[in-house]
């Protein structure tokens, strides 16, 4: 029942070997040139482009029809493959040695002039492009990104299948147990006043699957968080969700590193060196000022407490005595920074919440610093040398609590790398951070909250600290970091209901609340739960980093804006009152 001439080849298929064959191509008019008598078009589809020639001398009828063609028309064109005339070949594209001399053309669909040109140099606003997402998606970069994403799915599915993982779908309509971010809710029509929630992660379900004996689980799954969105967040996002029984950290590490090796090899042609570098949370903070360090450049931090604890500069010595930390890093060649640049850096550092920024330059005249009179040239030099600096360098120092000193320095370090263009984009900064704190005190909630999530196992050496020195207890948690971005996180879980209850209690979640929210998991632990752990990879973010994009919107087919709107279909939208009545809700 073909109502049009179906293609014999795609627009990327024809080669010199096809010369003389009569073919039919289906696709979009990419470019149209009318050179006096002869009309040339490039016909485009996902697979490539082919040049088509309409010659009035050879096929007058087809040429007449071709006059109506415009960019983005969808056509079926038939003709004989010819060798391109000498000198007109295009070696840049695989079909560039041939063209098709059209003897017939059908217009399958006309096209209005697109609101922006269909190419990667587009300068239309992102909002306009999102509104016309179907046109934006025709651009080569988005076609490439979604094809790349497709290949990533395949590699991931195959990797886990080959290792005995079972792909299991967990529910999207689940119970609301907000702990951390807000749930998206779904009112129940059948059960008046009750709601489902969309999963922030399938965490409890995958643990249940371990209790059920599935041993190795994986799923590429949509998750949802109703948060105020930042640049790289979306209300719905995709994760590779993994859980294993009878394992410890080393099993998850080996599994993950194997996956990374295959992804980088197959999709990027890069051989990763394994095992990956691994830092404790403490090491990452003290060396890079971040729990997701970017190790593609230096500027490593150093603590100078020992050097300054007895010095005359009170901000330093008193700070150390009060348990604080004085630390800093050296900017190679930074001695040449102007006064203006330094003032700017001081302001930037203060904007991060620092009391101030102490700095010293090692110039031709020796050590120079606004704080020279408090610290002395000698101490300044010892600090500089301790931090690895030499003549021509700049040392930056901050004194505050351990957390603030390192956090501020970490941000400052990234900022310096950006300003000095120190990040080598061809490098791969892939590493582990492990042994995160288990709980942290939330000033807002006036209680301890889980740093990872409430099902994370405490470090066995720190069980004794849980009640006595809660904030110091470490978790059996680990993050995988790529180029300064967290791309996966996981933990060894609690599989003992008594310890799990203790965790809830430490977090101020009463027994009743725990039973209401997580009773099914606690109950499951009563019937024989294996030791288990897992990890979840941010699929969108991983794809973004691997394709070199700056936004996850560029690796999703239909992303939403920062205010969670789909500009193409205008979701969310108003709905009929009848729909709301059936759901027993009213808007207020």
Residues numbered 448 to 467 that lie near a second copy (CB under 8 A) are: 460
Report if residue 487 touches a second copy, rule: CB under 8 A. Answer: no
Give the separation between CA 394 and CA 335, rounded to whole angstroms: 5
Instruction: Give the residue, chosen from 19, 80, 124, 146, that forms a contact with a second copy under the rule CB under 8 A.
Output: 146
Report if residue 442 touches a second copy, rule: CB under 8 A. Answer: no
Q: What is the DSSP letter of 169?
A: P
Report if residue 101 touches a second copy, rule: CB under 8 A. Answer: no
Per CB under 8 A, contacts with a second copy among 265-284 are none
Closest separation between CB of residue 518 and a second copy, Å? 9
Tokens of 433: 């951070």
Report if residue 114 touches a second copy, rule: CB under 8 A. Answer: yes
Task: Say if CB 328 and CB 400 are below 8 A apart.
Answer: no
Pairing of strands 38-45, 48-54: antiparallel
Helical H runs in 233-355? 249-268, 281-288, 305-308, 314-321, 339-351
Report if residue 584 touches a second copy, rule: CB under 8 A. Answer: yes
Instruction: Give the residue, chosen from 95, 204, 239, 483, that forms a contact with a second copy under the rule CB under 8 A.
Output: 204
Residue 162 CB-half CA count within 13 A: 10
Closest separation between CB of residue 180 and a second copy, Å? 14
Give the separation between CA 540 and CA 427, rounded to whole angstroms: 20
SS (H, E, C) 113-152: CCCCCCCCCCCCCHHHHHHCHHHHCCCHHHHHHHHHHHHH
Contacting range for a second copy; rule: CB under 8 A; set: 159-167, 288-296, 309-317, 423-431: 159-167
Residue that has been written with the tokens 């600096």 in this structure:
389
Report if residue 504 touches a second copy, rule: CB under 8 A. Answer: no
SS (H, E, C) 488-499: EEEEEECCCHHH
Give the separation between CA 218 and CA 241, rounded to whole angstroms: 5
Instruction: Give the residue, chosen from 88, 154, 341, 390, that forms a contact with a second copy under the rule CB under 8 A.
Output: 154
Report if residue 67 touches a second copy, rule: CB under 8 A. Answer: no
Per CB under 8 A, contacts with a second copy among 208-237 are 208-209, 211-215, 222, 224, 226, 228, 235-236
Tokens of 220: 């590429």
Cα 547-553-557 angle, rounded to 5 deg = 90
Instruction: Give the residue, chosen from 22, 84, 133, 377, that forms a contact with a second copy under the rule CB under 8 A.
Output: 133
Task: Say if CB 566 and CB 558 are below 8 A apart.
Answer: yes
Pick from 519, 470, 475: nearest CA to 493: 475
Closest separation between CB of residue 100 and a second copy, Å? 16
Closest separation between CB of residue 535 and a second copy, Å? 16
Instruction: Give the residue, chosen from 59, 63, 474, 495, that forms a contact with a second copy under the rule CB under 8 A.
Output: 495
Residue 68 CB-half CA count within 13 A: 14
Report if residue 99 touches a second copy, rule: CB under 8 A. Answer: no
Both ends of the chain: CA-CA distance in Å? Answer: 54
Size, binding site for a second copy by CB under 8 A = 128
Closest separation between CB of residue 348 and a second copy, Å? 31
Residue 515, SS3?
A: helix
- The residues pairing with 500 across neighbouring beta strands, listed in sequence order, are none
In the complex with a second copy, which residue's Cβ is closer, 81 or 107?
107
Residue 185 CB-half CA count within 13 A: 12
In the complex with a second copy, which residue's Cβ is closer, 423 or 580?
580
Instruction: Give the residue, chosen from 67, 192, 268, 314, that forms a contact with a second copy under the rule CB under 8 A.
Output: 192
Report if residue 47 touches a second copy, rule: CB under 8 A. Answer: yes
Closest separation between CB of residue 143 and a second copy, Å? 7
Tokens of 492: 């060894």
Contacting range for a second copy; rule: CB under 8 A; set: 77-85, 386-394, 481-489, 568-576: 568-576
Contacting range for a second copy; rule: CB under 8 A; set: 192-200, 312-320, 397-405, 440-448: 192-200
Closest separation between CB of residue 489 and a second copy, Å? 18
Which positions from 521 to 560 touch a second copy by CB under 8 A, shown as an x/- string? --xxxxxxxxx------------------------xxx-x
């Amino acid at each position: 029942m073909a109502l049009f001439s179906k293609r014999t080849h795609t627009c990327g298929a024809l080669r010199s070997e096809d010369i003389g064959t009569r073919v039919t191509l289906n696709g979009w008019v990419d470019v149209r040139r009318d050179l006096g008598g002869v009309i040339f078009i490039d016909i485009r589809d996902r697979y490539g482009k082919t040049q088509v020639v309409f010659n009035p001398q050879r096929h007058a009828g087809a040429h007449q029809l071709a006059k109506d063609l415009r960019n983005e028309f969808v056509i079926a064109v038939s003709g004989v493959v010819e060798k391109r005339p000498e000198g007109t070949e295009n070696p840049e594209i695989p079909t560039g040695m041939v063209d098709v001399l059209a003897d017939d053309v059908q217009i399958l669909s006309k096209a209005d002039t697109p609101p922006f040109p269909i190419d990667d140099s587009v300068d239309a606003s992102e909002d306009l492009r999102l509104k016309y997402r179907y046109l934006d998606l025709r651009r080569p970069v988005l076609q490439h990104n979604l094809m790349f994403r497709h290949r990533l799915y395949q590699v991931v599915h195959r990797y886990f299948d080959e290792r005995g993982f079972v792909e299991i779908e967990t529910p999207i309509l689940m119970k609301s147990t907000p702990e951390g971010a807000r749930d998206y809710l779904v009112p129940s029509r059948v059960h008046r006043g009750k709601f489902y929630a969309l999963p922030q992660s399938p965490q409890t379900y995958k643990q249940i699957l371990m209790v059920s004996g599935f041993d190795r689980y994986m799923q590429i799954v949509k998750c949802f968080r109703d948060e105020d969105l930042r640049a790289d967040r979306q209300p719905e996002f995709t994760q590779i969700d993994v859980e294993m029984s009878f394992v410890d950290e080393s099993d998850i590490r080996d599994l993950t590193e194997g996956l990374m090796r295959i992804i980088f090899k197959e999709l990027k042609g890069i051989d990763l060196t394994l095992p990956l570098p691994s830092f404790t949370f403490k090491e990452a903070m003290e060396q890079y000022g971040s729990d997701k360090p970017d190790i593609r450049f230096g500027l490593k931090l150093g603590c100078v407490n020992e050097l300054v604890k007895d010095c005359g500069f009170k901000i330093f010595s008193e700070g150390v005595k009060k348990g604080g930390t004085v630390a800093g890093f050296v900017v190679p060649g930074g001695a040449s920074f102007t006064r203006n640049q330094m003032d700017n850096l001081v302001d930037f550092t203060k904007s991060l919440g620092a009391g101030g920024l102490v700095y010293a330059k090692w110039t031709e005249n020796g050590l120079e610093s606004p704080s020279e009179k408090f610290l002395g040239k000698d101490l300044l030099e010892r600090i500089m040398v301790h931090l690895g600096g030499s003549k021509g360098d700049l040392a930056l120092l901050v004194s505050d609590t351990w957390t603030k000193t390192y956090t501020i320095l970490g941000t400052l370090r990234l900022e310096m790398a950006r300003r000095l263009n120190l990040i080598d984009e061809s490098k791969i900064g892939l590493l582990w951070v492990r042994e995160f704190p288990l709980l942290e005190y939330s000033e807002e909630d006036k209680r301890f909250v889980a740093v990872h999530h409430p099902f994370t196992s405490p470090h066995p050496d720190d069980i004794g600290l849980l009640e006595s020195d809660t904030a110091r207890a470490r978790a059996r948690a680990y993050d995988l970091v790529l180029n300064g971005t967290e791309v996966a996180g996981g933990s060894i879980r609690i599989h003992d209901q008594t310890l799990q209850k203790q965790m809830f209690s430490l977090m101020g979640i009463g027994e009743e609340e725990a039973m209401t929210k997580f009773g099914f998991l606690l109950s499951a632990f009563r019937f024989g739960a294996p030791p288990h752990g897992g990890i979840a990879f941010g699929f969108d973010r991983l794809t973004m980093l691997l394709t070199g994009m700056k936004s996850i919107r560029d690796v999703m087919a239909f992303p939403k804006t920062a205010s969670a709107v789909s500009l193409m279909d205008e979701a969310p939208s108003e709905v009929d009152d009848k729909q709301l009545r059936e759901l027993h809700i009213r808007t207020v």
